[in-house]
């Protein structure tokens, strides 16, 4: 393949434009948030992200390189087709469900990250445990899409793959480093526009290529391969359902999503952003579906790609069908627009993942677990350092890990199986405690790992009904064991929480055994905080010694929603907080 100077120039111009917008957003942040907490400006954008920018950035977070490449691949692969392209519908429904049930309670309570409610209810140690699958999901996702970007650029422009990955990651890390969520949000607007424009410009040229048969015919009739509409066999029905619920429910407990929710100016705006992004995800999937259909409707022997008589699936390059269509079925200058679209999609997701991981670490691990009295300046620098470190780590994994997609699949499953049921419990199930949380964590983890992972060549310990041996001699599950694992984790959390509560409160277990301070000790602390123990006449307040503020009080104050006090105050004279809120 010849080196394309024009393609390299197009990439450089695109990256410079993205970098300019990111630095401009950082400058805008510095001037508009003077005097405010810089931590909130970096993590949640000062909670004043508007509907337009918020809708764009939330959509761009989902519409990444994996989203557009994966949708086109699913439509193209003969044994799958459009029936198995679950991401557009699954992620759109995920945003709808998140908006209906999760956005409002999270935003109204004034949390800063997704892990805040876990640490508030279950304590800092449990929050640290839940940080692990959340971090794995964000980092492996960033690494996977950076790896895909390098391969995509190598198809269209003959430049070094490693160099393409490093430069892309460096630019995304740089503007995230200097501007935080503001830079990510404003660059997402530009990137989403590039995705939409680049793909839609490419579609007509690809469909009109002489080697392409009418996609309306190939949708229902076998021409070069099976119809691209696809079908779901009865044996695979439960597997399809399992994967679908993984997308719908597993797409909710991500810091990248809640970072946008918590950046909204109100709980209602947070819900509206989710609904706008759901619509945006559906619209942005249409060109990918059409490109996948074009790939399935092409006689590749009539193109330069098929000179050896093989098509993409025969060369095991079905995952690259989108850039292959852009390169071989579109004019050269049009393929460069498409390359810009793919690059924009990757960067819009990579920067979000890097910022999400660093936000959770700085807020929930560094500040709340170790340095509760850390200054704003100190935490701001921790954020910047971790943005750089996580960006470098994701880049290294993209370049070195051979099974980065397998690691991504496994880590995303853990987010669904472990974090989602825990989020349900802390938001909607009263009475759950740290003991139940640990039990749910362990149950979910063991059941998921025991089901195996074909992408990592991990054999299952439990072969559920319908499992079979694939061509790599790895057992693949047809049974919806991921859904079973998630439900088991959820029920274990509730059951063990109430069991522990009963055993301690009934006296079956002595209070000293409550080593996690989750039942007896927690109840006592709550009563002490409310001064309900001072009821007897023989106990005078003057006899009580002064008490040094406990760590638990400091932790609780970190989650206080000051806005809530202004709405719930019933005193005859309004508090200063209420007066300021009214102003």
Handedness of CA 533, 534, 540, 543 (dihedral sign): positive
Number of Cβ within 10 Å of residue 562's Cβ equals 10
Q: Is residue 551 part of a domain?
A: no
* Mean pLDDT, residues 490-506: 95
Asked if residue 289 lies in contact with residue 82, where contact means CB atoms within 8 angstroms, the answer is yes
Residues 433, 513 within the same domain: yes
330-375 tens-digit pLDDT: 988 888 777 777 777 777 677 888 888 998 999 889 988 888 888 8
Q: Residue 484, CB half-sphere, CA atoms under 13 Å: how many?
A: 16
Q: Is residue 541 part of a domain?
A: no
Q: Is residue 339 part of a domain?
A: yes
CATH of the domain at 151: 1.20.1730.10
Q: Is residue 572 part of a domain?
A: no
Q: Which pLDDT does position 550 carry in this prediction? A: 41
Write the Ramachandran bin of 180: left for phi over 0, alpha for psi from -120 to 50, otherwise beta: left
Does the pLDDT value for residue 212 go beyond 80? yes
The answer for residues whose C-beta is within 8 angstroms of residue 177's C-beta and 6 or more apart is 384, 387, 388, 391
How far is it, in rounded angstroms, from Cα 264 to Cα 111? 12
Domain total of the chain: 2
Residues 261, 352 within the same domain: yes
Q: Is residue 169 part of a domain?
A: yes
300-341 tens-digit pLDDT: 999 998 888 888 988 888 888 988 898 899 988 888 777 777
Choose the final residue of a domain: 404, 437, 452.
404
Choose the final residue of a domain: 338, 370, 404.
404
Choose the final residue of a domain: 525, 551, 567.
525
The answer for residues whose C-beta is within 8 angstroms of residue 296's C-beta and 6 or more apart is 75, 76, 78, 81, 215, 218, 224, 225, 228
Q: Residues of the chain with pLDDT > 90: what percent?
A: 42
Residues 398, 518 within the same domain: no
Domain that holds residue 253: 40-404
Q: Is residue 185 part of a domain?
A: yes
Residues 166, 283 within the same domain: yes
Q: Exposure string (b/e) for 91-110, b if CB count within 10 Å is 16 or more? A: bbbbbbbbbeebbbebbbbb
Residues 389, 503 within the same domain: no
367-414 tens-digit pLDDT: 888 888 888 888 888 988 999 999 999 888 888 766 666 677 778 899
Residues 258, 321 within the same domain: yes
Residues 284, 392 within the same domain: yes
Residue 59, both tokens: 């959509």
The answer for residues whose C-beta is within 8 angstroms of residue 347's C-beta and 6 or more apart is 18, 168, 171, 172, 187, 191
Q: Is residue 534 part of a domain?
A: no
Handedness of CA 566, 571, 574, 576 (dihedral sign): negative
Model's pTM, two decimal places? 0.84
Residues 265, 147 within the same domain: yes
Residues 436, 320 within the same domain: no
Q: Helix or strand or coil: residue 429?
A: coil
Q: Is residue 539 part of a domain?
A: no
DSSP alpha helices (H): ranges in 463-550?
Answer: 481-505, 520-529
Residues 386, 452 within the same domain: no
The answer for residues whose C-beta is within 8 angstroms of residue 213's C-beta and 6 or more apart is 223, 224, 297, 298, 299
- CA distance to 95, 96, 201, 480, per residue, from 279 (Å): 9, 9, 21, 28
Block residue for tokens 């299952």:
460
How far is it, in rounded angstroms, from Cα 115 to Cα 348? 23
Residues 166, 64 within the same domain: yes
Q: Helix or strand or coil: residue 576?
A: helix
Residues 387, 498 within the same domain: no
């Amino acid at each position: 393949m010849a080196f394309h100077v024009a393609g390299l120039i197009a990439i450089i111009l695109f990256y410079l434009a993205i970098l300019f917008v990111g630095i401009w957003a950082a400058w805008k942040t510095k001037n508009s948030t003077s005097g405010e907490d810089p931590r909130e400006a970096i993590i949640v954008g000062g909670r004043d992200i508007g509907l337009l920018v918020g809708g764009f950035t939330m959509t761009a977070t989902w519409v990444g390189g994996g989203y557009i490449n994966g949708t086109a691949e699913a439509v193209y692969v003969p044994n799958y087709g459009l029936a198995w392209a679950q991401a557009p519908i699954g992620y759109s429904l995920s945003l709808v469900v998140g908006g209906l049930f999760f956005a409002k309670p999270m935003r109204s309570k004034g949390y800063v990250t997704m892990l805040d409610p876990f640490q508030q209810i279950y304590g800092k140690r449990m929050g640290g445990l839940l940080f692990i699958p959340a971090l794995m999901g964000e980092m492996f996702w960033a690494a996977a899409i950076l790896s895909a970007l390098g391969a995509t650029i190598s198809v269209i422009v003959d430049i070094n793959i490693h160099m393409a990955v490093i430069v892309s990651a460096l630019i995304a890390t740089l503007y995230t480093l200097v501007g935080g969520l503001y830079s990510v949000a404003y660059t997402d607007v530009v990137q989403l526009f590039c995705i939409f424009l680049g793909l839609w410009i490419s579609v007509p040229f690809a469909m009109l290529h002489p080697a392409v048969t009418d996609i309306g015919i190939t949708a229902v009739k076998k021409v070069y391969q099976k119809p691209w509409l696809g079908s779901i066999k009865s044996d695979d029905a439960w597997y399809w359902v399992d994967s679908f619920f993984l997308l719908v429910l597993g797409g909710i407990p991500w810091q990248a999503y809640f970072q946008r929710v918590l950046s909204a100016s109100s709980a209602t705006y947070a819900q509206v952003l989710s609904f706008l992004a759901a619509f945006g995800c559906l619209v942005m999937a249409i060109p990918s579906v059409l490109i996948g259909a074009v790939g399935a409707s092409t006689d590749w022997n009539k193109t330069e790609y098929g000179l050896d008589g093989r098509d993409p699936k025969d060369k095991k390059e079905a995952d690259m069908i989108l850039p292959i269509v852009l390169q071989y079925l579109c004019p050269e200058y049009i393929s460069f627009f498409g390359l810009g679209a793919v690059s924009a999609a990757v960067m819009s997701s990579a920067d979000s993942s890097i910022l999400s991981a660093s936000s959770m670490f700085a807020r929930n691990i560094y500040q709340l677990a170790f340095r509760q009295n850390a200054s704003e300046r100190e935490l701001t620098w921790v954020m910047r350092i971790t943005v750089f470190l996580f960006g470098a780590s994701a880049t290294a994994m993209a370049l070195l890990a051979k099974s980065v997609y397998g690691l991504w699949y496994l880590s995303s499953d853990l987010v669904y199986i472990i974090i989602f049921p825990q989020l349900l419990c802390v938001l909607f199930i009263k009475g759950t405690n740290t003991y139940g949380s640990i039990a749910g964590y362990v149950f979910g983890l063991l059941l998921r790992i025991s089901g195996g992972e074909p992408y990592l060549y991990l054999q299952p310990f439990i072969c559920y009904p319908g499992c079979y041996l694939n061509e790599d001699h790895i057992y693949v599950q047809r049974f919806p064991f991921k859904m079973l694992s998630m439900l088991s984790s959820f029920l274990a959390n509730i059951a063990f929480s109430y069991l522990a509560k009963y055993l301690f409160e009934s006296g079956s277990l002595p209070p000293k055994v409550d080593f996690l301070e989750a039942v007896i000790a927690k109840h006592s602390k709550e009563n002490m905080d409310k001064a309900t123990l001072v009821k007897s006449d023989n106990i005078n307040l003057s006899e009580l010694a002064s008490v040094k503020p406990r760590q638990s009080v400091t932790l609780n104050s970190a989650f206080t929603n000051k806005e809530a006090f202004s709405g719930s105050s019933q005193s005859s004279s309004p508090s200063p907080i209420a007066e300021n809120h009214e102003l």
